[in-house]
Structure 1
Amino acid sequence: MARPNSGEELGRISGYRLTGVLGQGGQGTVYRAEDASGHEVAVKVLNDRMSDDAEERRRFFRQVDLARRVAPFCTARVLDMGMHDDRPYIVSEYVRGESLERAVRQDGPRAGGGLDRLAVATATALTAIHRAGVVHRDFKPANVILGPEGPVVIDFGISRVLDHVPTQSGALGTPGYVAPEQLSGDQAGPAADVFSWAATMVFAATGRRPFGGASVPSVIHALLYEEPDLTGVPEPLRSLVAACLDKRPERRPAADDLVRTLTGGGTRTLEVAEPAARVRVPLRAILAVVVAVAVGAAVVVWPRGEPRGGPEAARTGLATGTATGPVTGSGLAGSGVEIGRPLAGHANDVRAAAIGVLNGVPAALTGSDDETARVWDLRTSQPMGKPLIGHTEWVRGVVLDQLDGVPVALTASDDDTARVWDLGGGGGSRTLRGHTGDVKAIATGRIGGLHVAVTASADRTARVWDLRTGKPVGSPLTGHTAAVWAVAAGQVGGAPIAVTAGDDGTVRLWDLGTGKAIGEPMTGHTGWVRSVAMGTLEGRPVAVTGGEDMTVRVWDLTTRTQAGAPLAGHTGAVWSVAMTNLNGRAVAVSGSEDKTARTWDLATGKAMGAPFAKHSDAIWSVAAGLVDGRPVAVSGSRDQTARAWSLGSGS
């Protein structure tokens, strides 16, 4: 890293006093600075101006906020962000030291224990980055700083941030280290970072890139069509690097696989069955290995094709974890018992979940911050078909339904669109366009003989769509004064209605036939309301909502008043709710920031059984339904998995 220039003449950016220039490049200028307490920080000011578009700025800040969630293990923490003269800036921890690129060019390649420590530290950093839902997309020797406390990875998430800035320089990455899918314009996921990590390790071990060439076009040609030159890379690193440089991203190991292998965890669990079933190791376990904590552990890998619980579970049609309790005489585990294996395959938070039936098979549909939706067989806990790829931002809402007898999936995304996917074999999707902000939720219903979707958006509106044509029906539903996060659709007194909720803390009822609000907004929650579900309670139509105030609330849709006291018990914000019926008993399911899901008897206002506490992080989404006639719930989490669990017999 270049030695900073000193001097007060550089001025200030917000509350940061600039004391020197650390470097300049295509993305921007990096300054050394001091915060208000006198601590040294690095301030990166991007070259290109950002427009006055509020939505564009909001997306930029959201991407930087994701980077702030990265655990500070071998990474330079992102501390702050803002605008200066219409240019975005990002403040991060200042790490003294030379870049790996400069060090290798000056002092030669790394070797022995130094190379091993470099590989472990940078792979651990990559695991932390991916764990936070960030893809680096420009991992290279220049972005690895050899600091006084070890190697530190910088600039993670910056390339993704540049997607939201109208830049002239672009955010492609650096030739020689960029993955093939980035060059071909395909979606760059965590596997692209693994490729770049491997190319960086080759440079560290040999002083050259794995794909050589005298010009940028020749380097790109080698990267796309030739095998890497790994001469001089020692074993066992060489074999691992070769696997990471596979031109097919689905065949590369994940970052946590790298750490496990590099630290002596072995390679036998790198892939189980297919790449989509790859076993993930929790970050806390990886770090325990890195710091050499002497703890013995056993990992059980269930045989391929056999559900947990053995032949008995296979006969019942549901895979049941033996560690979660016995199966009752009816073949149904008690409430809160996990069913089958975690639905693991998403590369980011699972934000949305739905339950339905696909070709006679009980299925779950999940939507994720990895910008995909996936369909799962709830009998086997395995994916059904390929991921639904097309959205360019987080998938926030999902629905399983049928359109004219053909199974369809519906998805809502932060890319301002919703999509209708043909799951009946015809393939393809139809895009619903019209919102001017993130589409946070989606529901389906009917207006007479018209099959419709209803979407909720950050643009403060809900909209109704003809599912057959993809065209809007009537005018937007307006009245919310902040982002609309949740929507449910159904009927009250034979009339088609929708219920919405949002950041203004209100719950609103709409007549879908007229597009008009019904009565005044329903209030009671303190703070935002992010979820709503509809059902019946003792013959009355009701809505259930969850909010920032950590409560679940029930609303009588006939009188538009709160029914009973709030359901309290969660210790974090309630992000999602669902409703179902257990042998005539109205039941709500809620998922919370406190990492638990809970089941509630709405007639008594009491919790049913113990909380479901298998997730290792916040629960963003819950859904309720039937699997082979048995009541179940599915929960989606920040831990990148969805899980199915029994709701009991309901008797």
Structure 2
Amino acid sequence: MPGRRPLEPGDPERIGDHLLIGVLGEGGQGIVYRARTPTGTPVAIKVLHARTAADPGAGRRLLREAEIARRIAPFCTARVLDMGVFRGRPYIVSEYIPGIALDALVARDGPRAGSGLHRLAVATLTSLAAIHRAGVVHHDVKPGNVILGPEGPVVIDFGISRVLEQVSTRSGPVGTPAYMAPERFERRPAGPAADVFGWAATMVFAATGHPAFRGPSLPAVMHAIVVGEPDLDGVAEELRPLLAACLDKRPGERPGAAVVLRHLTHDYRPGLSVLPGLVPGGSVGVSVPVGSVSGVTSGRRRRVLLGGLIALAAAGVGVAVPSWLSRPDGAGSGTVVGTNSTAPSGNVPGTPLTGYVGGVLSVAFGRLNGAAVAVSGGGDGTVRVWDLTAGKQTGTSLSGHAGGVLSVAFGQVNGVTVVVSGGDDGTVRVWDLAAGRQLGAPLGGHAGVVRSVALGQVGGKAVVVSGGDDGTVGVWDPVAGRRVGLPLSGHVGVVRSVALGQVGGKAVAVSGGDDGTVRVWDLAAGRQLGESLVGHVGTVWSVAVGQMDGRAVAVSGDSAVRVWDLARGRQLGAPLAGHAGSVRSVAVGQAEGRAVVVSGGGDGTVRVWDLAAGRQLGAPLAGHAGSVRSVALGQVGGRAVAVSGDDDGTVRAWSITMSGRSPGPRLFSG
């Protein structure tokens, strides 16, 4: 919205109690007035154009976004002060920030560099992290929406473009093309990862004076963003890998705002130092305890984990080495939770189960013909079944997905043992494990990737729940092969994980996603139950439902493990912290009569937590050489066993004991 001008005939003199002074800018979305409150405080008022406001839902959506935005921490953002409707047109009153927009500043004074560029990057990213924590996605991060005010950089206009895009069905996505993520052009749902892309493109412009993606025409720019490489010429060497990671074409591979911020601020915590430089290919920093590498002599376990952490850094994940690696014997404090015990057949449960071409993206636990099995989904598009007693794959791989299998769930449908899977191809599929074949046609309905599936019983009938990139939760009848009711909507951005459970006698689905919220859905009523569970730091990667002391709880993973009382809608205790990186998967169950959570993370470890005590049990379970994508928990021979799947392409089984070491040969004898 370039340009400023005085009021003209046809402009209103007042909006509500605010006296208008002039016009700050106009554009395709609306007009922005400079105004004063009755007490003389300067404010900015954005009013939607009449043609936009003609959509009866546009005003409601805009005001709802504004109400959410009012909860955002006021630092680094222009605060939303008021909202309303003027002559049928919705408006938002926000704090007036005197200053110059970043694009105008670069045009006048040239690119930013040195400490000035660093302060700009940190301030704007801090703003985005605050916006995402409040469940808001900006949708239009660009130099024109960064104001260099007297107190530092401020991000403006968050949340508005999303509403306008829902109205603009013919002209395509709303925003500034050079700063829009590829998924926006492909009409896929855009979550916080799109903001990270826009932020990185904005920083490239600030550092160089040119866009990251250029072309002689709008189609050429769009083509460059979707298939081309960013032009990082002129960007300081220390920033290039970080910005390249943020400009990845795949939303799921971009680091979150909080991860990038930790790198920019060097994550200065006691005992940690940041390794100099970044691994080419888009890493975002690796934190290692000072002195933990030199003098380590405990052998292969350390070398494997350290290698995995470096591999994670190369993949763009911010990780830190667990403190126990600094101990010469590698021992953790407290009781031992899991060991690699030898089964009667001579197989070692801790030995990796291999066979995948690519990573293991999902695992589930179950029983097939009386035997304990693990089911997994891989990046090669196959579903595989593993006999945990024999330590080998059983049957042939189940093929059908055109892309990675991101989630699997185990259960029964009409007395048949099945696995439900969801994946990159946007379909949900049901497999008869005994017959080794797919049941019916794929369940297609999500507008994008299916990230998570869950299988359970509602009213005595089997039901499948799914979540995906389109931001919705789907409910399916696997027998009839059709969707039940309308998609459950409310999440802003990708739904990463879903689970099924009971709350107060009601069958519910629980979901978590990129907007940093966990939501509970009443399946019978087809609506959200209560308020969203907020307080997460960034993306909610995984959710699970279980019981603790007779009450229904949800467990979620973001940068830590969090436990929620579903009946009361509140968090129980402090977050369970320990993973050095994001918590990618959680599972709830019982071990020796006690409620436990198993978690897997970007640091390559599996951890076990005592829910009642609110603490970690024993040392992290290490051995994977990459990010642990999925964990599951079940019983084998009367003992609790965790199963984990990893980017390294392996499935592993771990014995869970509350005290002492596992008895070894008896582990898988039942």
Taking structure 2 as the reference length, the TM-score comes to: 0.52
Kept in 1: contact 2:501–2:508 (CA 8 A) = no
Whether 1:30 and 2:32 are equivalent positions in the alignment is yes
The CA distance in 1 between the partners of 2:39 and 2:88, in whole Å, is 26
- 1:78-89 aligned at under 5 Å gives the runs 78-89=80-91
State the AA in 1 paired with 2:420: V
Query: 1:49 aligned to 2:53?
Result: yes
Aligned to 1:401: 411
Query: Matches of residues 120-519 of structure 1 in structure 2 within 5 Å?
Result: 120-166=122-168, 170-238=172-240, 240-247=242-249, 249=251, 252-263=254-265, 266=274, 302-304=305-307, 325-327=334-336, 356-357=365-366, 386=404, 388=406, 401-403=411-413, 404-408=416-420, 420-422=428-430, 429-430=442-443, 444-445=456-457, 451-452=462-463, 466-471=477-482, 499=506
- Paired residues for 1:2-21 under 5 Å: 2-3=3-4, 5=6, 10-14=12-16, 16-21=18-23
Find the aligned partners of 2:335 and 2:226 in 1 and give their Cα distance.
53
Deviation, 1:571, is 8.1
Q: Secondary structure at the match of 2:306?
A: coil
Tell me the distance in 2 between the aligned counterparts of 1:253 and 1:186. 19
SS in 1 for 2:177: coil
Identify the residue that residue 481 of structure 1 maps to in structure 2: none
Is residue 39 from structure 1 mapped to residue 48 from structure 2 by the alignment? no
Query: Compared with structure 1, are the counterparts of its residues 84 and 112 closer, same or farther at alpha carbon in structure 2 (3 Å cutoff)?
Result: same
SS at match of 1:303: helix
Q: Does 1:630 align with 2:631?
A: no
Q: Do 1:163 and 1:171's aligned partners in 2 also have CA atoms closer than 8 Å?
A: yes
Distance 1:88 1:172 in 2: 18
- Equivalenced residue count is 486
Structure 2 contact 145–155 (Cα < 8 Å) conserved: yes
Instruction: Report the equivalent of 2:625.
Output: none
Deviation at residue 159 of structure 1 after TM alignment? 2.5
TM-aligned CA deviation for residue 145 of structure 1: 0.7
2-structure distance, mates of 1:147, 1:534: 49
1:147 Cα offset (Å): 0.7
Cα deviation 1:64-109 (Å, max 9, x = unaligned): 4554454444332344444444444333332111111112223333
> Counterparts of 2:231 and 2:333 in 1: how far apart (Å)?
49
CA distance in 1, matches of 2:544, 2:248: 45
CA distance in structure 1 between the aligned counterparts of 2:12 and 2:106, rounded to whole angstroms: 31
Query: Match of 2:462, as an amino acid?
Result: H
Change in Cα spacing, 1:258 to 1:137, as seen in structure 2 (3 Å) is same
Contact 1:356 1:400 in 2 (8 A): yes
Q: Which amino acid aligns with 2:506?
A: V
> Displacement of 1:29 after TM fit?
1.6
Q: 1:135 to 1:234 in 2, by over 3 A?
A: same
How far does the alpha carbon of each residue in 1:445-472 deviate from its partner, in whole angstroms, 9 at most, with x for none? 2777x634699xxxxxxx9964221358
Question: What residue is the counterpart of 1:522 in the other structure?
Answer: none
Is the Cα–Cα contact under 8 Å of residues 245 and 284 in structure 2 kept in the other structure? no
Distance in 2, Cα, partners of 1:257 & 1:279: 9
Q: Distance in 2 between matches of 1:252 and 1:84?
A: 40
What is the CA-CA distance between 1:168 and the residue it aligns to?
5.7
Maintained 8 Å contact 1:633/1:646 = no
CA distance in 1, matches of 2:531, 2:193: 36
From the superposition, tell whether residues 46 and 206 of structure 1 become closer, same or farther in structure 2 (CA, over 3 Å).
Answer: same
- What is the CA-CA distance between 1:5 and the residue it aligns to? 3.6
Is the 1:49–1:166 contact (alpha carbons within 8 Å) kept by the matching residues of 2?
no
Contact between 2:137 and 2:195, CA under 8 Å: does it hold in 1? yes
CA contact (8 A) 1:501 1:532 kept: no
Between the aligned partners of 2:166 and 2:229, the Cα distance in structure 1 is 34
Cα distance in 1 for partners of 2:200, 2:532 equals 44
Counterpart-to-counterpart distance in 1, 2:102 and 2:442: 45
Question: How much does 1:26 deviate?
Answer: 1.3
Q: Is the 8 A contact 1:442 1:487 kept in 2?
A: yes
The change in CA–CA distance for 1:107 and 1:164 in structure 2 (over 3 A counts) is same
Q: Deviation string for 1:394-434 (max 9, x for gaps)? A: xxxx97534443311599xxxxxx9955478969852689x
Pairwise CA distance, 1:43: 2.5
Letter in structure 2 aligned against 1:139: V
**Residue type matched to 1:303 in 2?**
L
Q: Which structure has more RCO (C-alpha within 8 Å, separation ≥ 6)?
A: 2
Q: Is the 8 A contact 1:362 1:626 kept in 2?
A: no
Where in structure 2 are the equivalents of 1:536-551 lying within 5 Å?
Answer: none
Change (3 A) 1:100 1:534: closer
Partners of 1:567 and 1:466 in 2: CA distance: 28
Q: Distance in 2 between matches of 1:30 and 1:109?
A: 27
Determine the C-alpha separation between the residues in 1 that align with 2:118 and 2:532: 49
Cα–Cα, structure 1 residues 278 and 246, in superposed 2: closer, same or farther, change >3 Å?
Answer: closer
Name the CA shift for 1:57/1:308 in 2 (closer, same or farther; >3 Å).
Answer: same
Q: Kindly, what percent of the aligned residue pairs are identical?
A: 41
For 1:430, give the aligned amino acid.
L
- The verdict on how the C-alpha distance between 1:410 and 1:110 changes in structure 2, with shifts beyond 3 A counting, is closer
Q: Which digits, 9 at most, give the CA deviation of each residue in 1:295-327, with x for residues without a partner?
A: x9899994356997999xxxxxxxxx9767322
Structure 1: state its 5+ residue gaps.
Answer: 282-295, 312-320, 333-339, 341-352, 366-374, 380-384, 390-397, 412-417, 434-440, 456-462, 477-484, 491-496, 503-508, 517-526, 554-565, 573-577, 590-596, 601-607, 614-622, 635-643
* Aligned-residue offset at 1:148: 0.7
Q: How does 1:587-602 map to 2 (within 5 A)?
A: none
Please, what is the CA RMSD of the aligned residues?
Answer: 6.6
Q: Give TM-score, length-normalised by structure 1.
A: 0.53
Give SS of 1:106's match. helix
